[in-house]
């Protein structure tokens, strides 16, 4: 028996997919508040180590209303750019609740964070020296590369030998010398080994390595193990969830053991993005054409790679549901079809040669688990309008939380 996620979770609350598209246009990102809050709580309660905080990595989804909910749930946040810092401050996060995980930033960008009172993590010696010049005697963090990587695709692995991220542990002495030269206080160290692990072992291995690195520095305040917590994208095939109990226990144990040697409790942080928001989002669209080309069936939709880039960029799998008269198509009549968008690129593919119910023109398509790296990676390519975003609140009612682009928006930057 296939699992139909939106049915199982009463995802659309009091609305029907067709009503949502009629009101807010197609395609449309729909988020479910109850699922979002649940995922926040799972991360907030992940470990029993007493001095613990989960950050939310807002690159996964930075809709202002979602940020406010995440903040209400007590999470802190990490930012990758001045723009993300700006949004976080607007959402009500305090500067000391934000970590700027900087990568190859300009002096102006670093100065922006310093002026706002946001702690900066430097991921190269040259950026650490830049920090020292801008804020001698200041407080700073350093990102290390533990030499371990993990992730669902080579493009999202950020630890290990062949990535641009982090400082190698061999450079610890140079880090120390640079801190000394500029009289910098090392507040904490962080890492992020990659995105989407379903088995905690590589994460725990990297955590152990980072703790060994941390032991070289006196009197740090925090250790941030990074994000990467995976979600089951293949729910229809019965894929199991990540074992959070195992991950949480492992982390707590590592921290307790380490603390006994270090002699002081530091704050343990993690920074999940996907885990918080992926499953609270479904991307709805419309089937506009079904055709055969050289014996292959193509289902043509209005969800182009400008709206959801993940399948084109990483061959990512997202479960698909079709709705006809608002009922999920569960017909036994399946065929092999390739689902595509409306963008002028042959790689504009949502699902390649997948067994799917026989969808027809006018049916609605739902792309599951689209809340993370969906809207946040969307664009106006082909001068297409980015969709609206709607939140199904705890009472099951929809609320517009970002309007759809207009044609005027496409003209905004022209002088
Ligand atoms: N911290 C840092 C420093 C990061 O670079 C990232 C993600 C995270 C935390 C959060 O990782 P998460 O928990 O979401 O895996 N666009 C790709 C994922 C790229 C992730 C980039 N960095 C995707 O759609 O799969």
The pLDDT tens digits of the residues spanning 293-348 come to 999 999 999 999 999 999 999 999 999 999 999 999 997 789 999 999 999 999 99
CA angle at 90 for the pair 89 and 91, rounded to the nearest 5° = 90
Confidence of residue 375 (pLDDT cuts 50, 70, 90): very high
- Between CA 203 and CA 211 the distance in angstroms is 12
Q: Note the pLDDT of residue 403.
A: 98
CA of 60 to the centre of ligand 1 (A): 7
pLDDT at 155 over 90: no
Q: What is the pLDDT of residue 343?
A: 98
Residue nearest to atom 23 of ligand 1 (CA): 373
List, for residues 212-238, the tens digit of each pLDDT value. 999 999 999 999 999 999 999 999 999
Q: What is the pLDDT of residues 55-101, one digit of tens each?
A: 999 999 999 999 999 999 999 999 999 999 999 999 999 999 999 99
Distance of alpha carbon 210 from alpha carbon 225, whole angstroms = 8
Mutating to test ligand 1, I would choose from 39, 60, 202 the residue with most ligand atoms within 8 A of its C-beta, which is 60
- Segment 139-154 shows an average pLDDT of 89
So what CATH class is 34-274?
alpha beta
* Ligand 1 closest atom vs CA 152: 25
What's the chain's Rg over C-alpha atoms? 23
Closest residue by Cα to atom 19, ligand 1, is 156
Q: Which of 77, 123, 227 to mutate to test the pocket of ligand 1 (most atoms within 8 A of CB)?
A: 227
Which residue reads 């003209």 in tokens? Answer: 411
* Per-residue pLDDT, 160: 80
Nearest CA to ligand 1 atom 9: 227
Cα(322)–Cα(169) distance, integer angstroms: 50
Confidence of residue 154 (pLDDT cuts 50, 70, 90): confident
Beta bridge partners of 292: 297
What ligand 1 atom has the least distance to the C-alpha of 230?
15
Q: Distance (Å, rounded) from C-alpha 65 to C-alpha 39?
A: 16
- pLDDT of 51 reads 94
Nearest CA to ligand 1 atom 16: 373
pLDDT given for residue 249 in this prediction: 97
Question: How confident is the model at residue 119, as a pLDDT?
Answer: 98
Q: What is the pLDDT at residue 314?
A: 97
Ligand 1 atom 3: the closest Cα is on which residue?
192
Q: Calculate the alpha carbon distances from 134 to 97, 176, 183, 194, 413 in Å.
A: 22, 18, 12, 30, 32
Region 167-176 average pLDDT: 96
Instruction: Using DSSP bridges, classify how beta strands 320-324 and 327-328 pair: parallel, antiparallel or unpaired.
Output: antiparallel
How far, in Å, is the centroid of ligand 1 from the Cα of 358? 35
Q: How far is the CA of 304 from the centre of ligand 1 (A)?
A: 22
* Cα gap 136→57, rounded to integer Å: 28
The sign of the CA dihedral 153, 364, 32, 238 is: negative
Write down the mean pLDDT value for the chain: 96
Ligand 1: centre distance to CA 196 (Å)? 8
Residue 41 corresponds to which tokens in the numbers above?
Answer: 């709580």
pLDDT for res 147: 85
Answer whether residue 2 shows pLDDT above 90.
Answer: no
Interval between CA 273 and ligand 1 midpoint (Å): 6
Domain ranges of the chain: 5-30+278-411, 34-274
| Cα-to-centroid distance, 410 and ligand 1 (Å) | 28
- Residue 161: is its pLDDT beyond 90? no
Please tell me which residue in 40, 122, 280, 344 is annotated as part of the active site: 344
Task: Identify the pLDDT of residue 232.
Answer: 98
pLDDT of amino acid 148: 80
pTM: 0.97
As a whole-number percent, the residues of the chain with pLDDT over 90 amount to: 93
Judged against a pLDDT cut of 80, whether residue 1 lies above it is answered with: no
Point out the ligand 1 atom lying closest to the alpha carbon of residue 273.
14
Report the separation in Å between the CA atom of 415 and the middle of ligand 1, taken as the mean of its atom positions: 35
Query: pLDDT tens digits for 19-66?
Result: 999 999 999 999 999 999 999 999 999 999 999 999 999 999 999 999
7 band by pLDDT with thresholds 50, 70 and 90: very high
d(CA 14, CA 80) in angstroms, rounded, equals 36
Q: What integer pLDDT is reported at residue 99 of this predicted model?
A: 98
Q: Which atom of ligand 1 is nearest to the CA of 158?
A: 5
- pLDDT tens track for 191-209: 999 999 999 999 999 999 9
The CATH-assigned architecture of domain 5-30+278-411 is Beta Barrel (2.40)
Predicted pLDDT of residue 296: 96
Mutate to test the pocket of ligand 1, among 99, 274, 277 (most ligand atoms within 8 A of CB): 274
Same fold: 5-30+278-411 with 34-274: no
Q: What burial class does residue 385 get, using C-beta atoms within 10 Å of its C-beta: 0-12 exposed, 13-18 middle, 19+ buried?
A: middle
**How does residue 210 score in pLDDT terms, banded at 50, 70 and 90?**
very high
Q: Which atom of ligand 1 is nearest to the CA of 60?
A: 14
**Bridge partner residues of 57 (DSSP):** 78
Instruction: Give the SS3 label for residue 289.
Output: strand
Over residues 124-139, mean pLDDT:
98
40 is catalytic: no
* Mean pLDDT within 244-263: 96
Residues with CB under 6 A from ligand 1: 57, 59-60, 78, 101, 156, 158, 192, 195-196, 226-229, 271-275, 310, 373
How far out from the chain centre does Cα 25 lie? 25
């Amino acid at each position: 028996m296939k699992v139909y996620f939106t049915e199982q979770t009463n995802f659309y609350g009091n609305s029907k997919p067709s009503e949502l598209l009629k009101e807010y246009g197609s395609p449309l990102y729909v988020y479910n508040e109850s699922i979002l809050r649940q995922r926040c709580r799972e991360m907030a309660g992940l470990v029993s180590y007493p001095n613990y905080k989960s950050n939310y990595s807002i690159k996964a989804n930075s809709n202002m209303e979602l940020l406010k909910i995440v903040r209400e749930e007590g999470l802190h946040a990490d930012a990758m750019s001045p723009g993300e810092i700006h949004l976080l401050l607007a959402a009500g996060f305090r500067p000391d609740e934000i970590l700027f995980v900087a990568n190859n930033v300009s002096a102006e960008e670093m100065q922006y964070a310093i002026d706002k009172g946001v702690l900066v993590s430097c991921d190269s010696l040259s950026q650490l020296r830049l920090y020292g010049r801008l804020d001698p005697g200041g407080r700073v963090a350093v990102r290390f590369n533990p030499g371990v990587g993990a992730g669902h695709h080579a493009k999202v692995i950020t630890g290990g030998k062949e990535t641009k991220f982090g400082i190698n542990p061999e450079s610890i002495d140079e880090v120390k010398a640079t801190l000394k030269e500029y009289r910098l206080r090392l507040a904490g160290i962080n890492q992020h080994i990659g995105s989407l692990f379903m088995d905690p072992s590589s994460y725990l291995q990297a955590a152990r390595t980072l703790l060994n690195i941390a032991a070289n520095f006196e009197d740090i305040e925090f250790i941030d193990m990074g994000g990467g917590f995976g979600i089951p994208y293949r729910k229809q095939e019965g894929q199991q969830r990540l074992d959070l109990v195992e991950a949480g226990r492992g982390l707590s144990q590592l921290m307790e053991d380490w603390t006994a040697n270090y002699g002081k409790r530091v704050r343990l942080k993690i920074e999940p993005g996907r885990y918080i928001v992926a499953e609270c989002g479904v991307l709805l669209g419309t089937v506009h054409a079904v055709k055969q080309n050289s014996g292959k069936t193509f289902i043509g939709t209005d969800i182009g790679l400008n709206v959801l880039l993940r399948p084109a960029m990483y061959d990512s799998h997202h479960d698909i549901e079709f709705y006809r008269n608002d009922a999920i198509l569960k017909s036994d009549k399946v065929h092999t079809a390739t689902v595509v968008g409306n963008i002028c690129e042959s790689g504009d593919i949502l699902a390649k040669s997948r067994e799917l119910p026989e969808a027809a023109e006018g049916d609605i398509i739902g792309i599951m688990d689209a809340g993370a790296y969906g809207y946040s990676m969307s664009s106006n390519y082909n001068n297409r309008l980015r969709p609206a975003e709607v939140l199904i609140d705890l009472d099951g009612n929809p609320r517009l939380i970002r309007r759809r682009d207009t044609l005027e928006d496409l003209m905004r930057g022209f002088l």
